[in-house]
Chain A
Amino acid sequence: MQREVGTLPLAPALRARLAAAGFQTAQELLDTGPGGLSKEIGISREEALEALRVVRQECHGDAARTAGGSGTTRKCTALELLEEEQTQGFIITFCSALDSILGGGVQLTKITEICGAPGVGKTQLCMQLAVDVQIPECFGGVAGEAVFIDTEGSFMVDRVVDIAAACVQHCHLIAEAQQEEEHRKALETFSLENILSHIYYFRCRDYTELLAQVYLLPEFLSEHSKVRLVVIDGIAFPFRHDFEDLSLRTRLLNGLAQQLIIIANDHKSAVVLTNQMTTRIGQSQSTLVPALGESWGHAATVRLIFHWDNSQRLATLYKSPSQKESTIPYHITCHGFRDVQPPAVSHSTAGTELNPRKRPRTEEEKQ
Chain B
Amino acid sequence: MDWDQFDLNPKTIAALKKADIKSVKEILNLSGADLQRLMKLSSADIQCLLKTVSRALRRSSMLTALQLYQDQDHLTSQHQKLSLGCSVLDNLLKGGIPLVGITELAGESSAGKTQISLQLCLCVQYPYKYGGLESGAVYICTEDVFPSKRLQQLIDQQHKLRADVPAEVIQKIRFGNSIFVERAADLDTFQQCITRRLSLLLARGMVRLVVIDSIAALFRCEFSPAEAALKARYLQTFGAQLHSLSTRFRTPIMCINQVWVLGSRVTPALGITWANQLLMRLMVSRVSLPGHSSGAASHGAGTRRTLSVVFAPHLPPSFCYYTVQLEGVKGIK
Residue ranges of A at the interface with B (Cβ–Cβ < 8 Å): 33-34, 45-46, 49-50, 53, 117-119, 123-124, 130, 148, 152-161, 193, 195-203, 205-206, 208-209, 211-213, 215-216, 219-220, 236-237, 240-242, 248, 251-252, 255, 276-279, 281, 288, 332, 334
Contact = CB atoms under 8 A, between A and B. Distances in A.
Contacts of A216: 51, 54-55, 58
Nearest to B314: A156
Nearest to B278: A118
A198 B66 CA distance: 8
A277 B29 CA distance: 25
Nearest to B234: A241
Contacts of A240: 236, 276
B186 interface: no
A206 B237 CA distance: 13
A46 B64 contact: no
A45 B7 CA distance: 11
26 contacts: A118-B276, A119-B310, A119-B312, A153-B101, A154-B101, A156-B78, A157-B69, A157-B78, A158-B69, A158-B79, A158-B314, A159-B314, A196-B64, A198-B64, A208-B29, A212-B28, A212-B57, A213-B54, A215-B50, A219-B51, A240-B276, A241-B240, A242-B237, A276-B276, A277-B276, A279-B273
A202 B54 contact: no
B279 A154 contact: yes
Given A119-B275, A153-B247, A156-B314, 5 more contacts: A34-B7, A49-B8, A53-B9, A154-B101, A216-B58
Given A119-B311, A196-B69, A241-B236, A255 B31 contact: yes
B314 A242 contact: no
Contacts of B312: 119
Contact of A118 (B69, B275, B314): B275
Contact of B281 (A119, A157, A158, A200): A119
A211 B29 CA distance: 9
A20 B272 CA distance: 67
Contact of A281 (B55, B62, B228, B311): B228
- Chain B's interface size range is 35 or more
Contacts of B275: 117-119
B195 interface: no
A51 to B, nearest CB: 11
Given A208-B25, A278-B273, A53 B50 contact: no
Nearest to B225: A281
Contact of B61 (A34, A46, A203): A203
A247 to B, nearest CB: 11
Interface string B272-286: 110110110100000
Contacts of B57: 208-209, 212
Contacts of B101: 152-154
A46 B279 contact: no
B63 interface: yes
Contacts of B63: 200-201
B84 to A, nearest CB: 18
A25 B96 CA distance: 52
Contacts of A201: 62-65, 68
Contacts of A277: 272, 276
Interface string B187-199: 0000000000000
Contacts of A119: 275, 281, 310-312
B313 A193 contact: no
Interface in B226-253: 228, 233, 236-237, 239-240, 243-244, 247
B300 interface: no
Interface in B275-325: 275-276, 278-279, 281, 310-314, 316
A124 B315 CA distance: 11
Contact of A200 (B62, B236, B247): B62
Nearest to A224: B62
B279 A193 contact: no
A123 B313 contact: yes
A118 B311 contact: yes
Contacts of B24: 208, 212
Contacts of A211: 28, 54
Interface string B43-85: 0000010110111011001111110110000000011000000
A252 B9 CA distance: 26
A340 B271 CA distance: 28
A130 B64 CA distance: 12
B271 A279 contact: yes
Contacts of A196: 64-66, 68-69
B11 A160 contact: no
A323 B127 CA distance: 56
Contacts of B97: none
B313 A154 contact: yes
A157 B244 contact: no
Contacts of A117: 272, 275
Nearest to B7: A34
Nearest 8 Cβ contacts at the A-B interface: A119-B311, A156-B314, A212-B54, A196-B66, A199-B65, A215-B54, A197-B66, A196-B65
Contacts of B65: 130, 148, 157, 160, 195-197, 199, 201
A187 to B, nearest CB: 18
B314 to A, nearest CB: 4
B281 A118 contact: yes
